[in-house]
Structure 1
């Protein structure tokens, strides 16, 4: 979308010099906004209102207490379009070891229960975050079941997939680890496109989808699409060592993100989903 002069005049900024489209993912329109003194990062969600960004704002503010994130400058609605104005982080190069340590510190931020104080259902993948005291209940009912139901509605499910899924589901409900998880603050979408290093080499996290859950969910996401090397995991373990059996449990959490991609992008991700389901 193109932003008119009248639209831009309603931002809480003065002396805007240039507005340049930048890469911001496939969900929002994104721009670099340069004033006479400062550069900002602007996200716009056409005709969705400011409510679309409220979950991200909450996530950025919670993460900012532990790790570097873009600072929230302003959020609101202009002519029906939701916008989120953030500080600009100039990218540089940094250490995967330091990144691992930063993520571990995020995961050391704990809560008494699993979930969050609000749902996020405006996006393509609904997130139901009602508080739970039992992680197995939260993960099966409020994460996996939701995506399986969505896959069925889109004609992306089969009897064979469901047979294997039901066996996995029953295993999760009685698995000892699921009963001993401590709720950790999770980024929620920790792939390589959602971290960067600042100009000074400091790790920063962007585009969060936070809730409190098993830290192994975030770690599982790092193993699916690449972008995290051995130094990342070494740095993480220096701060917050993995629980015994971590590698054996990775597939049950990789499944969630692969189911999300199955629903978003179709049967291209079916074989990856099946490879995990066939284990059960």
Structure 2
């Protein structure tokens, strides 16, 4: 879709005298622009045929992360010409230390809550998140993450008896383990792959595009290992601030099950074999 950011938009955004607006890459669900004005440089995301409320969760996540770590600062969200939009400060990227990035994520995870979840569900995503507060991690993870996605992939025909058998055994294992090994709810980024982290020009690590909730911090760590892009220094930096519990390496595959299930729902059967392998490994390690 082609969207013209014209002078009527300039007045709505209220960013001073606008010199230039340039389309940039903004992911697969939003239009995105770099806006340069006499007040500075900004990043504008636009969601056509939607409302400002589309960006409520993203703003909430960035604001929460900024209480303890570093993320782009949200200037404003709004609705204009039947489009929802979000403005944040523009990040000029540079290089930095993976060790420092690991420490930043550890500081994020040190922000705790009494229960697992969030104040609201996230239902406007292709992988919906049910965030009702729960005291028990396995209840939250199974009922409000796994079962939600399994229902969707069944409806799309990406399920079979073998996957169902593995899945039932996997859920039983999760329940048994966390009955004996409770965890503290941590603020999670929620989508911590290498495309959602970076470094500013001053080398400071920064996190963006979050999908926050309070959960088991090993979920974020598992995501970093699923698609690569994080070095050994990242985990060393993390553990220097907030050491992971004994056996965490073996549990990573448990949470990669969730992310592979999410990809199965989004992209289809191409992720089916990887999901089966992850379920098998979870039960054998």
Q: TM-score range by the shorter chain?
A: over 0.9
SS in 2 for 1:68: coil
Selected match of 1:209 from 196, 208, 211: 211
Contact kept? 1:30, 1:42, Cα under 8 Å? yes
**Residue of structure 2 in register with 1:48 after alignment:** 50
Task: Give the distance between the partners of 1:221 and 1:207, measured in 2 at CA.
Answer: 14
**Residue of structure 2 in register with 1:73 after alignment:** 75
Q: CA deviation at 1:177?
A: 6.7
Contact kept? 2:184, 2:216, Cα under 8 Å? yes
Match runs of 1:116-195 below 5 Å:
116-176=118-178, 179-195=181-197
Q: CA deviation at 1:246?
A: 0.5
Task: Give the distance between the partners of 1:158 and 1:117, measured in 2 at CA.
Answer: 34
What's the C-alpha RMSD, in Å, of the aligned pairs? 1.2
Contact kept? 1:136, 1:178, Cα under 8 Å? no
- Say if 2:36 is the partner of 1:34: yes
Which residues of structure 2 form unaligned runs of 5+? none
Contact kept? 1:135, 1:178, Cα under 8 Å? no
Q: CA deviation at 1:12?
A: 2.3
SS in 2 for 1:112: coil
Output one character per residue of 1:94-116: Cα deviation in whole Å (capped at 9) or x when no partner.
00000000000100111110000
Output one character per residue of 1:190-212: Cα deviation in whole Å (capped at 9) or x when no partner.
00011110000000000110000
Contact kept? 1:109, 1:184, Cα under 8 Å? yes
Which residues of structure 1 form unaligned runs of 5+? none
Structure 2 length-normalised TM: 0.95
Q: CA deviation at 1:20?
A: 0.7
Contact kept? 1:47, 1:81, Cα under 8 Å? yes
**Residue of structure 2 in register with 1:258 after alignment:** 260
Task: Give the distance between the partners of 1:268 and 1:169, measured in 2 at CA.
Answer: 23
SS in 2 for 1:42: strand
- Runs of 4+ in structure 1 deviating by more than 4 angstroms, as ranges, are none
Structure 1 length-normalised TM: 0.97
Q: CA deviation at 1:180?
A: 1.1
Say how many residue pairs are matched: 280
Task: Give the distance between the partners of 1:91 and 1:177, measured in 2 at CA.
Answer: 43
**Residue of structure 1 in register with 2:108 after alignment:** 106
Selected match of 1:243 from 222, 245, 249: 245
Gap change, CA 1:95 and 1:178, over 3 Å in 2: farther
Output one character per residue of 1:72-96: Cα deviation in whole Å (capped at 9) or x when no partner.
1010101111100000111011000
Q: CA deviation at 1:179?
A: 4.4
SS in 2 for 1:250: helix
